[in-house]
Amino acid sequence: MIISARLGDSLGAQRLLSKTSIFRANLALGYSFALLAFALALGLRFLIEDSLPPGFPFLTFFPAVIISAFIAGTRPGMLCTALSFLAVWYWFIDNPGSFSLSYGGAVALGFFAFIAAVDIALIRAAARSVDRLAAQQAQLNTIVETVPLGILVADLPSGKIIGGNSYAEQMLGRPLLHTSDISDLDELIVFQEGGPSTDEHKTLFAKLMLGGEEDVSSEVQYQRADGSTAWARLLARPVREARRRASGAVIALVDTDEEHNNRIALEDALKAKELLLYEVNHRVKNSLQLVNSFLFLESMKFEGSLAHAAIMSARNKVDMIARVHQLLYESGTHSSVDMRPATEEVVKDLLFTAGRDDVDLDFVFSGDLMLDIRQATPLILVINEIVTNSIKYGLGAEQPKLTCSIDQTAEQMTLKLIDNGPGIALKESANGSGLGSQIIQGLVHQMRGEIVTQNLEPGMATVLTIPTRH
């Protein structure tokens, strides 16, 4: 349905001026119409000759010229003007039946020719404007019928729907109806949150069209003719005249039904994924606790021996892995970890478990500190091993202090752990080739990082650098 089809009743004059007029399209018919108009004007002038006072020679010829130019075009109008000019000169100026001409007659004929020329020029200009308007309207109709949008055109302030395109009819499942008033909007029954409504859709439509708002957008669920429902986004803008008065409104209906259904399906899939991840994490946690229990039971068989100490050490590491797993799971995301709270929690938990509430603990963080979970897991395990070593061998007897700093740039993350203990010598002799050192080296290699130790005398600094981009 073309929008202009709704406006046909108001376009009669424009159609007569357009090239589509039968008299303008066919020059022979146009000239015939001009001759007929001239003949009628001449006959009528003779008919009322006796009843007219002197001084009205052009009375019937002006309408003939204007009508000829308006309906048949410029050239037929000029033909009617020329014939009328000669007829008035011969029969109705000075001496009837001759072409004699006085000064007053010449002025009268000149006035007639001038007025006729002005009328024809104005009608020609109007006809050209109508032709341009018709071409623009044809382009607009082509665009409106081509775009995959439902379009409604309404009159303001009545709210009467006066037009639309075929896509709107397709979306609604019915031909567009004429609405008599804003309160009778059966063409667009929409639903608000919580289900269908009886009056709210009218309020919504009135807000879009009559509320004086610019660029109104609203996503609604609407009802088709067969009773089914679908989702669409309404985009409304007023149509303003030169004086900025709103004379109409255009509302676009964007079909978002598939998008809405896909969004719901995606939300359901994400919920299912979250549930699955929760179940997996729960099973991993239970499995680690089960391994921890098995190791504890085995350690009881070797109590007081080196085997007991080794099994208990392994049990502590399994317990740490379980705690790290729980920490990462509770971080709220399954792709990245904020290292600030994760580092603080691990270090504080280790000191609390060791009963070292006397340690002066200092954290220094800079940068984004969001790390991919594939790097965050081994990094937290490295922090656990280094801090565990510091608690055992690296904290001073008096005023023990531990500083943990992390700095992240676009290319790398740097972890620095500093204690004020006896330095490198005691740690190397106690744990240099032990399981803890092997774990640290393996985890650093996994992260493609580098680790160095510095003797501070007193104290030791461990510096770990890992790339943040793969």
Return the structure tokens found at 74.
């410029």
Record the pTM: 0.46
Residue 43: exposure state from Cβ atoms within 10 A (0-12, 13-18, ≥19): exposed
In a 3-state reduction of DSSP, which class is residue 299?
helix
Place of tokens 């709103």: 246
The neighbour count for residue 451, using CB atoms within 10 Å, is: 18
- What are the C-alpha distances in Å from 56 to residues 18, 50, 92, 108, 120? 33, 12, 9, 10, 21
Which architecture characterizes domain 334-470 according to CATH?
A: 2-Layer Sandwich (3.30)
Return the structure tokens found at 365.
């963080």
Q: Closest Cα to residue 126, out of 180, 179, 69, 170?
A: 69
CA 13 to chain centre: 42
pLDDT of the residue at 424 = 61
Domain 150-255 belongs in CATH node 3.30.450.20: yes
pLDDT of the residue at 470 = 53
Domain boundaries, the chain: 3-146, 150-255, 257-330, 334-470
pLDDT of the residue at 16 = 64
Euclidean distance between CA atoms 259 and 270, whole angstroms: 16
Asked if residues 184 and 227 have their Cβ atoms less than 8 Å apart, the reply is: no
pLDDT of the residue at 114 = 95
Asked if residues 31 and 79 have their Cβ atoms less than 8 Å apart, the reply is: yes
Return the structure tokens found at 172.
């609604």
Euclidean distance between CA atoms 178 and 316, whole angstroms: 79
pLDDT of the residue at 133 = 84
Q: Phi then psi for 192, rounded to 5 degrees?
A: -95, 180
The neighbour count for residue 300, using CB atoms within 10 Å, is: 9
The neighbour count for residue 20, using CB atoms within 10 Å, is: 13
Per-residue pLDDT of the chain (470 residues; tens, 9 = 90+): 444 444 444 456 666 666 657 888 888 999 999 999 999 999 999 999 888 777 788 989 999 999 999 999 899 999 999 999 999 999 988 888 888 888 888 999 999 999 999 999 999 998 888 888 888 888 888 888 888 888 888 777 666 777 788 888 888 787 776 555 544 444 555 554 444 444 444 445 555 555 555 666 777 777 777 878 888 888 878 777 767 777 777 888 888 888 888 888 888 888 888 788 777 777 887 888 888 888 888 888 887 788 887 887 778 778 777 777 777 666 656 667 888 888 898 888 888 888 888 888 999 999 888 888 788 888 888 888 888 888 887 676 678 889 999 999 888 899 999 888 776 654 554 445 566 778 888 888 888 889 998 888 778 889 999 988 65
Quickly list DSSP for 172-221.
HTSPPPPPSSTT--TT--EEETTEE-SSHHHHHHHHHHHS--SSEEEEEE
Cβ-based neighbours of 189, under 8 Å, separated by 6 or more: 196, 201, 222, 223
What is the spatial order of strands in the sheet that 360-366 belongs to?
360-366, 401-408, 412-419, 460-467, 450-455
Residues, the chain, total?
Answer: 470
